[in-house]
Chain A
Amino acid sequence: MYSNEMKFVETHEWIKNDSADVVTVGITHHAQELLGDLVYVELPSIGSVIAANDTIGVVESVKAASDLYSPLAGEVVEINEEVVNDPTLANTDPHGSGWLFKLKLSNPSDVDSLLSADKYKSLIG
């Protein structure tokens, strides 16, 4: 589930390289499990330039709201309209069709500083 092709952050987002400088970002399986039935996703607008650790949106389940943090600095180049229309995609396929947005990185090598799948797995126990 936590593939070696992906990187992770402590705030439970995953990151996967589409190309050298564009990454896809989503919430982890563990995050969706903690949140329960998702009912609302608010994403940053396309073109917005964000810094690492910025609060850039929110993911809400029936029971709780969870801020969405930017894992890295860059420009938002695409958002997943399907998950906005049907937030349960992030429950059923959090690492696939439930992805949230794509980021063009300011500094592509930043990815290397993120957690590996093994480190994330040990973090969530």
Chain B
Amino acid sequence: MNYTPFYQCHIDSGGKIVDFGGWALPVNYGSQIKEHEAVRTDVGMFDVSHMVITDVHGVEAKQFLRHLISNDVEKLEKHGVGKALYTALLNNEAGVIDDLIVYLTAFGYRIVSNAATEAKDLAWIKQVAGNFQVSLFPRRDLAMLAVQGPNAIQKVSESHPNVAEQLAGLKPFSSVEDNGYFYARTGYTGENGLEIMFPKEEAKTLWLTLLDHGVVPCGLGARDTLRLEAGMNLYGHEMDESITPVECTMDWVVDLSDESRDFIGKVAYQLAKISTGNMVQVGLLMQGRGILRDGQVLELNGENIGIITSGTFSPTMKQSIAIARVKKGTEGIIDAVIRDKKESVKVVKLPFVRNGKIMVTE
């Protein structure tokens, strides 16, 4: 079992620890729903130190990343140091190996990717890196804490007055570095907030300081319901190596604007884009009382038209919601098959919730 630098903090805060892909992490600290609500209305914090931070250095770092990922890091250069880019890591068939964020920092590029896919991501990235003059530096010396919610930036500023001014001016998907602390205005909740990467020896100090300022510890459970309401993809659910960006609403992170750029999966992606048999990603609203879950089959007039990729009870909307992959053009009311019974669900546009507001109408 792997332990993050916050492990003892979770125990001390009453966290219910589970094995999350080999990492001992809290699923909740009592009530998942209360933690979810704290993030929507105030501020919560999540230990995301299991995620994989890799710094990319070398004279060909930019060429390497322009080949490796679907989005174009050229955009980062235009915006300057601090900018972040969400992207897919595609295989040659344009299947999604992982989704990740690339930051352009004062010290080079930084990649943050998923823990569950760590081994295969790194094997793939290393293999591609072999053709470029680059060095990869895994940063397990850092801890990572996500502080999320409408009051997140205010709370971090109060507890770290030295960066308050810089944080106040920080735009979405941007980052700033101060004294070994890397603050990024990114997140996985649909709320405003920060993801902070910093020396792991200081994990307990930061945790206790934020706790003192009223930041609510939140577990993996709330992290999942928040991202689902925000319509955000989860690897292994909405996307995997057999799913192209076309089918999981990741088109916007495939950048074809520079025709001369050759990136992995480009040709397969262009073919997938013009194929007529595509599935698309939609949101679903349960019309009755049951709970939608991943793996449940979707039908229209008895014909299989798709599958639920993530489902839950939405604490904000007080009803069940889901993300699904369905035949292109699916709309209106369809059936979800739950324990052999057909239940009506309504096809809606994602996201369900953004910045504390419900975005879908009944």
Contact = CB atoms under 8 A, between A and B. Distances in A.
A50 to B, nearest CB: 16
Interface stretch (A60-68, A103-111, A114-122): A60-68
Contacts, number: 34
A62 B289 contact: no
A37 interface: yes
A36 B222 CA distance: 12
Contact of A40 (B28, B32, B291, B315): B291
A98 to B, nearest CB: 16
Interface string A27-41: 000000000110110
A39 B312 CA distance: 10
Contact of A58 (B31, B320, B339): B339
B256 interface: no
B325 interface: no
Most chain-B Cβ atoms within 10 A of its Cβ — which of A39, A42, A58, A65?
A39
Interface in B204-256: 221, 224-225
Contacts of A58: 339
A62 B224 CA distance: 10
Nearest to B28: A36
A62 B339 contact: no
Contacts of A42: 290
Range of interface residues on A (Cβ < 8 Å): 10 to 19
Given A36-B32, A37-B32, A62 B290 contact: no
B269 interface: no
Chain A binding surface, main DSSP class: strand
B293 A62 contact: no
A62 B33 contact: yes
Interface residues of B, number: 17
B32 A39 contact: no
B339 A40 contact: no
Chain B binding surface, main DSSP class: mixed
A37 B291 contact: no
B27 interface: yes
Given A40-B313, A58-B339, A63 B32 contact: yes
Contacts of A62: 32-33, 221, 225, 312-313, 315
Interface string B310-349: 0011010000100000000000000000010000000000
Contacts of B221: 36, 62-63
A39 B290 contact: no
Nearest to A91: B31
A36 B34 CA distance: 11
A63 B290 contact: no
B289 A40 contact: yes
Nearest to A41: B289
Contacts of B28: 36
Nearest to A67: B339
Interface in A36-91: 36-37, 39-40, 42, 58, 60, 62-63, 65
Most chain-B Cβ atoms within 10 A of its Cβ — which of A40, A60, A63?
A63
A37 B27 contact: no
Contacts of B313: 39-40, 60, 62
Nearest to A58: B339
B156 to A, nearest CB: 27
15 contacts: A36-B27, A36-B31, A36-B221, A37-B31, A39-B291, A40-B290, A40-B313, A42-B290, A60-B290, A60-B313, A62-B32, A62-B313, A62-B315, A65-B291, A65-B293
Given A39-B291, A60-B290, 9 more contacts: A37-B31, A40-B289, A60-B313, A62-B225, A62-B312, A62-B313, A62-B315, A63-B27, A63-B221
Interface of B: 27-28, 31-33, 221, 224-225, 289-291, 293, 312-313, 315, 320, 339
Interface of A: 36-37, 39-40, 42, 58, 60, 62-63, 65
